Copies of this chain bind each other. A is one copy, B any other.
Amino acid sequence: MKNESSTVENYIKTIYSLCDKNGKTTVSAVAERLQNNPASVSNMVRRLHEKGLLENKSKLILSKEGNLLARQLIRKHRLWETFLVRVLNFKWEEVHDIAEQLEHVHSPLLTERLPVFLKYPKFDPHGDPIPDKKGNLPDLNAIPLTEAEVDQLYIFRSVATDKSDFLNYLNKKGLQLGQKWKVTEKEEFDGSVKLLIDENREVYFSETVAQNF
Contacts and interface: CB of A to CB of B under 8 A. Distances in A.
A98 B94 contact: no
Copies of this chain, whole number: 2
Contacts of A106: 101
Interface centre among A97, A101, A106, A117 (most CB of B within 10 A): A101
Contact of A88 (B88, B97, B98, B110): B110
Contacts of A98: 105, 107, 109-110
A182 to B, nearest CB: 36
Interface in A97-130: 97-98, 101-102, 105-107, 109-110, 113-114, 117
Contacts of A113: 88-90
Nearest to A97: B107
Contacts of A109: 90, 94, 98
Contacts of A102: 102, 105
Interface residues of A, number: 18
A130 B117 CA distance: 25
A142 interface: no
A167 to B, nearest CB: 15
A88 to B, nearest CB: 5
Nearest to A107: B98
A87 interface: yes
Interface string A58-88: 0000000000000000000000000010011
5 contacts: A87-B117, A89-B117, A90-B109, A98-B107, A101-B105
